[in-house]
Structure 1
Amino acid sequence: MTTFLHTMLRVTDPAKSRAFYEALGMEFRRESDIVRDGNHEATLYFFAFPGEDVELELTYNTDGRSYELGTAYGHIAAGVDDLAETLAALEQEGIRPEREPYRVREGGSLLCFVQDPDGYRIELIDRSGA
């Protein structure tokens, strides 16, 4: 049996990223250093929504490599109980949606996108049925 374990994103400021993902309701699970041949290459930070096993791995490289947000990346999606309430809480943390919530099709879920400190897009989908 195969199971989905995690998705990894590279970040440039672990403290800002941690604050962002915790504001989304994720909990910090653990961190782990990557050391090869005595050289520290990266620190991994794992987050998940409470009660879920699937994790988000944020990787902070310390070995001098640089990277850019690729054009193939789309977004991560998270279901929220009340989109308006979630956006109000995020606003308190200085996190604003890219645009006002909308529906992709008539009768579809209300959704919007926010961006983390590195520009990764996070889709928030209202699960209340409103």
Structure 2
Amino acid sequence: MPVELIHTMIRVLDEDRSLAFYGAIGFEERGRRRVGGDTATVIFLALPGDGARLELTLNDGRTEPYELGEGYGHIALTVSDDMDAELARFAEAGIAPEKEPYAAYPGGPRICFLRDPDGYRIELLERNPEDEF
């Protein structure tokens, strides 16, 4: 039986663009490897104080955007207690939310969504809704 969720992997096209985006929202590179019989590079990213929970995969020679499909939803991250300050910091890096923060349900945390350079959605929450369970 599984005991821990260790990471999520997404495929990206441009290493520099993706690392700039994820770096701007707080991720740090923790390591990288060549995989797939030396046909791809995986880059492991982590938030400070956490494990490498995000894997970016760059497949050699790929230039066409990936189909994100209907099954992908988002990656969710909590931010500091001040969502507005975080969004101001992201704006300095040229990152804007899809729309202004809002509460998805009465009394719930304010949330908003960003899109990374490859179109993946990133949900930002003021607090973890699991803390309410």
- Partner residue of 1:74? 73
TM-score, L = length of structure 2: 0.87
Task: Please tell me whether residue 96 in structure 1 is matched to residue 106 in structure 2.
Answer: no
Question: Does the CA contact (< 8 Å) of 1:42 and 1:63 recur in 2?
Answer: no
- Partner residue of 1:3? 4
Deviation of residue 35 (structure 1)?
5.0
Q: 1:61 to 1:79 in 2, by over 3 A?
A: same
Task: Please tell me whether residue 46 in structure 1 is matched to residue 47 in structure 2.
Answer: no
Deviation of residue 63 (structure 1)?
4.7
Q: Please give the per-residue CA displacement for 1:93-121, whole angstroms capped at 9, x wherever unaligned.
A: 11100001100111110110000000000
In 2, distance between residues paired with 1:45 and 1:20? 14
Q: 1:35 to 1:106 in 2, by over 3 A?
A: closer
- RMSD across aligned positions (CA): 1.8
Question: Does the CA contact (< 8 Å) of 2:33 and 2:42 recur in 1?
Answer: yes
Deviation of residue 70 (structure 1)?
1.6
Q: Please give the per-residue CA displacement for 1:57-108, whole angstroms capped at 9, x wherever unaligned.
A: 0000005485311211000000001211110011011110000110011111
Q: Which residue identity does 2:89 align to in structure 1?
A: A
Deviation of residue 2 (structure 1)?
2.1
TM-score, L = length of structure 1: 0.89
Between the two proteins, the alignment pairs up a number of residues equal to: 125
SS of the aligned residue for 1:17 comes to: helix
Name whichever of 54-63 and 16-25 sits farther off. 54-63
In 2, distance between residues paired with 1:65 and 1:23? 24
List structure 1 segments (4+ residues) > 6 angstroms apart after TM superposition.
none
Question: Does the CA contact (< 8 Å) of 2:111 and 2:123 recur in 1?
Answer: yes
Question: Does the CA contact (< 8 Å) of 1:11 and 1:60 recur in 2?
Answer: yes
Question: What percent of counterpart residues are identical?
Answer: 47
- Partner residue of 1:126? 126
